[in-house]
Every structure is written in C-alpha cells, then in structure tokens.
Structure 1
C-alpha cells in the first residue's frame, strides 16, 4: 500500500494509517474508517480519501479529515441539528454513484464555515455531502433550489427550528385519523 499523497510521515500499519494532521498531531486511522470520494470535493482534486474525527467537545460538529492531505480538514454537521425543514431530493445517478439503491437514503453532511464571530457561522446547504457509510463512499452534490444557500446561517436555522418546535407544542397531540375506504 502506498502512503497517502502529501503525507510525508505516514507509516502503514496492519489495516491502519498513522497520520500526522495539522490540528491533532499524530493519529491512527483504521482503513475501514476511510471514505472514498467518488468525485473530488470541488477545489481539492488531489484528495480522494477522508475520515471523520469526532470529539465530544465539538458535538454535533465533526471534522472530515483528508487522508491524502494532512492540512485539509472540513468542519461538517448533519443538517437536521439546525435545519428542521431540510429535506433535499437527490437524483438516482448521485445515489447510485455512492452505492445506494432505490429507497436507500444517504447520511447528509453540510460543510460549515466557522468565522471568528461564531454567531456568523454558516453551512453550505446547497452543496451537501451525501454519504453511504456502509459502502464507504461519498460525494458532494449541488441542489438546484432557491430555498437554500451555500452560506445558510446556522443561528437563523436554530431560531426557525425552535419556532417550529414551539408551534408543534402549542398544537398538542394530534388525533389519529383513519383513511376513508380502508377496513
């Protein structure tokens, strides 16, 4: 196995990579944790292999670290944490490209921009990452809609989510309705 491009001090161990990444130092990554980009993330043509780094202190955010470039890390988050009404549709081609069939759903992640003033943090909701965790494949897709932007305010998303939750709470439990014509 060849060491990842751009990682000068990668030592390949049994089914694991020892990588030195800029923000964490030396870490071991199991080969089974590596996700392969079916198409490189735009702007990063030489990075094809990535893995998630989870830390309690940054939840629900994760780092998506390139195994090919120790200096390339994205902050990502599953959109449902902040955007209750985010339900994008994907083409069959995109799903097939990451190894998903009809009726199978990908895990979604939005790439987050963290400015100095964290109240201005944004998520790219127009270009989510769709992930097939079992197949270890992912890609970034672009949704053609005016509803979502590439710089969607996370704070505004939280406010909308809280407002929707309050409205649902005010409505109270909804009675169950039987469909007409069923037995």
Structure 2
C-alpha cells in the first residue's frame, strides 16, 4: 500500500505491516490503522494510515529505562490475544520540548505482532510518571508482564 505522509512524502508499506487499533489511540479514536516507520534508532514513527498529518514519535521504553515495568491487565491480554511477551512490541510516545526529549511512561502502546492488533493503555499505577526526561538510551531489557 502506498501511504501519503506530510512528513515523509509517499511511503510504501506492506499490508501485513498495518497495525489495527480498534479503539484508536488516546485522543485519536477515529484513526484505527497505523504503521511503524523507521527513524534514527531507537526512535521510530507510529504513523496513521488514514490521516497523512498524524504521526507519533515512539520508542521501546526499555531502551531508555531498563527497569521500567508494568502489568498488563487480563482483559487487555484477551483483547489483544497476547498471553506472553514473545510477540509483543511495547512503545511509548516521545515529545520534544525546549530541545529536551521526554517520554510518557504512563500510557504505553502494546502491539501483538502475531495479529497486528494494538492498544494504547493508561496504567492505573500512580507511581508511573506521565512525563519523564530522557537522558540516554541503554541496552534493551524487557520487563513487561503479559
């Protein structure tokens, strides 16, 4: 499929790489199809297939915070069809403010790569911050309990 983007122009994306978010992303419930576009590692873009203007800078949170950990609720496991971490991608949204990179650890994006279905969560754990300054990437170490 040829994807039209305002940031990158026309991009070719294989149909099997389209991620379905049946409930959309937080604040974008009507946009339900996305793809991951490469950028400068470890950063990627989660780009809407349906709106050429909507894209989110994302990364694997474990690149920056190896001790990051959260529990995926049972209903999310059932919704995504994920019962282990083997086929799961975790992203968090990054923002840049005053030339500083911040990450939202409170609302991870979970993707089951076996069925390309995703969900944008809001974690109930009040100890997990919404906005955290990123200093430097470190080796990946997964701590998701799914």
What RMSD in Å do the two structures reach over aligned CA positions?
A: 1.7
Q: CA deviation at 1:146?
A: 2.6
How far does the alpha carbon of each residue in 1:81-116 deviate from its partner, in whole angstroms, 9 at most, with x for none? 110110111111111111113xx1232110111224
Unaligned runs of 5+ in 2: 140-146
Partner of 2:104: 124
Q: CA deviation at 1:24?
A: 0.5
Partner of 2:115: 135
Alpha-carbon distance in 2 for matches of 1:116, 1:73: 20
User: Based on CA coordinates, which of the two structures has the bigger radius of gyration?
Assistant: 1
**Which protein, 1 or 2, shows the higher relative CO under an 8 Å CA cutoff with sep ≥ 6?**
2
CA contact (8 A) 1:126 1:150 kept: yes
In the superposition, the TM-score normalised over structure 1's length comes to: 0.70
Partner of 2:10: 26
Q: Is the strand fraction higher in 1 or 2?
A: 2
Per mean C-alpha deviation after superposition, the further-off stretch among 17-26 and 59-68 is: 17-26
Q: Is the helix fraction higher in 1 or 2?
A: 1
Unaligned runs of 5+ in 1: 1-16, 163-183
In the superposition, the TM-score normalised over structure 2's length comes to: 0.87
Alpha-carbon distance in 2 for matches of 1:48, 1:65: 11
